[in-house]
C-alpha cells in the first residue's frame, strides 16, 4: 500500500495475473485493516500490478487452501461493499473471475479504454457459479 495525501493505493501484486492465494488474501485483509484504522485516509484505490491484469481472481495453484480462501474472499467482498470509505477499482487490464467479483463490490469502477482487455466471470465456462459473491 502507498499513501498520497488522503488516498491509499492498494496494488494487487501476485504475478503473473495478480491472483489471490491464501497468503495474498491474508495480506489484502491486513492492508484493509490498516486503511480502515488510518483516519487520514479518505479514499481507497485498488489496482493491479503491471499493465496486463487487474486480477484473475483465484490462484488455482493454491487449490489445497480453497476451503480457507473462499470464505475469506466472500467476507472481504462484503467488507469492501460496506466499507465506510469509498473504494475505487482502477482497472487497467484483464479482470476475470474473482478479480471481477472484487471490482464489482467496489463503490466505483474505472476501466482503461482498451478493447483488447477482457472481463468476465470465467467460472461460467466451467458450469459453476461465481463463488466469491459475483452473483
Chain segment 74-99, per-residue pLDDT in tens: 899 999 999 999 999 999 999 999 99
CB 100 within 8 A of CB 109: no
List, by residue number, the catalytic residues.
101, 123
Q: How far is CA 121 from CA 9, 41, 116, in A?
A: 25, 31, 17
Residues 98-120 pLDDT 10s: 999 999 999 999 999 999 999 99
| pLDDT at residue 107, rounded to an integer | 97
User: Which superfamily does CATH assign the domain made up of 2-126 to?
Assistant: 2-enoyl-CoA Hydratase; Chain A, domain 1 (3.90.226.10)
Q: Tell me whether strands 108-111 and 43-48 are parallel, antiparallel or unpaired.
A: unpaired
28 band by pLDDT with thresholds 50, 70 and 90: very high
The candidate with the shortest Cα–Cα distance to 32, out of 77, 63, 94, is 77
| pLDDT at residue 126, rounded to an integer | 78
Higher-confidence position of 41 and 127: 41
Domain boundaries, the chain: 2-126
Amino acid at each position: 500500500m502507498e499513501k498520497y495525501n488522503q488516498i491509499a493505493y492498494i496494488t494487487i501484486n501476485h504475478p503473473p495475473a495478480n491472483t489471490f492465494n491464501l497468503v495474498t488474501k491474508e495480506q489484502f485483509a491486513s492492508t484493509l485493516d490498516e486503511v480502515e484504522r488510518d483516519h487520514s485516509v479518505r479514499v481507497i484505490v485498488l489496482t493491479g500490478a503491471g499493465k496486463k491484469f487487474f486480477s484473475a481472481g483465484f490462484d488455482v495453484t493454491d487449490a489445497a487452501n480453497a476451503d480457507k480462501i473462499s470464505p475469506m474472499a466472500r467476507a472481504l467482498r462484503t467488507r469492501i461493499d460496506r466499507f465506510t470509505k469509498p473504494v475505487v477499482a482502477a482497472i487497467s487490464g484483464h479482470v476475470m473471475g474473482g478479480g471481477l467479483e472484487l471490482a464489482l463490490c467496489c463503490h466505483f469502477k474505472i476501466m482503461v479504454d482498451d478493447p483488447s482487455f477482457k472481463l468476465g466471470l470465467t467460472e461460467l465456462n466451467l458450469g459453476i457459479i461465481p463463488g466469491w459473491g459475483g452473483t
